[in-house]
Amino acid sequence: MLKHRHKIMLVGDGAVGSSFAFSLLQTTQEVDELVIVDLKKEKAIGESLDLQDITPLTGPVDIHAGDYVDAKDADVVVITAGVPRKQGETRLDLVNKNARILSTIVTPIVENGFSGIFVVSSNPVDILTTLTQRLSGFPKHRVIGTGTSLDTARLNVLLSQKLNVPVNEIDAWVLGEHGDTSFAAFDEATVNGQPLKAVAGLNDKDYADLEETVRKRGGNIIAGKGATFYGISKYLAYIVKAIIENHNVVLPVSAPLTGQYGINNLYLGIPAIINWTGTETTVNFTLSPNEQKKLQLSAAKMKEILASVKI
């Protein structure tokens, strides 16, 4: 019996896009076509040829440069295109520049008959995911952003180092905006199944320092090497794999809020179940009153920015 195979379109062949494509091909064998779209067509062609060279080891995939017309029968469109964040610049500083770029991508993709799932990682990701849904008119569950998946990874790494335990024993989440109003849900975090606050021996300053270090980690990476791309590209590949292989994966992605936590008409980093339907549902995550307040503040900031966006 032939397996159902899948077509992925990548829009944006920068550092994140190219790293995503490389990671995806090593993550799943369920992709039989990968289309790369970039304003610099020659770069997309070169990228395709370079990636073809790994297929003898990863499996046969038709990898080629393309255009928005190729979206018609794609299962997933991954958007990494946009102006990258510079040192000293916040993700929200990018909003109007990248919102305008987004409108030139989403509209022609939909007009060419795309009916799959959008996955967005361009920054500010929660804003651009919200705008992708509005521009496309798609059901909200068929638009996903990478949300706070990367922030959560960073928190787990830092806690692992702080407590000197394996990172896979840490279960802690960063929620809210992928940016300055994000927060770590320490009250619900666990270490090897035990409540973090009961076993870690950390004080309030330790928790505040960890949270601040998570927020600054992206900027520190940019200062050191000019961009961040390995972590986010791996999570992008993980999300796409969950979609095309129909796994029920729980990640804090930019998920649509339609009344959950008292928030409507907005995407924020919240744990959600991802599978072939997109975001099947958000996870009923019980927050402490303080964390609920932080999530509301993050939502208010996002809505304020959305109201000012001009595309």
Return the active site residues: 178
Could you give the CA distance from residue 301 to residue 306 in angstroms, rounded to a whole number?
9
Residue 227 structure tokens:
């961009």
Partners of 78 in the beta sheet? 10, 119
Residue 95 structure tokens:
């909003």
Could you give the CA distance from residue 267 to residue 205 in angstroms, rounded to a whole number?
30
| Residues 6 or more apart in contact with residue 219 via CB below 8 angstroms | 87, 88
Partners of 174 in the beta sheet? 184
Question: Sign of dihedral through CA atoms 133, 136, 141, 144?
Answer: negative
Partners of 264 in the beta sheet? 258
For 239, left (φ over 0), alpha (ψ -120 to 50), or beta?
alpha
| CB-side neighbour CA atoms (13 Å) of 200 | 29
Instruction: Specify whether the CB–CB gap between 180 and 215 falls below 8 A.
Output: yes
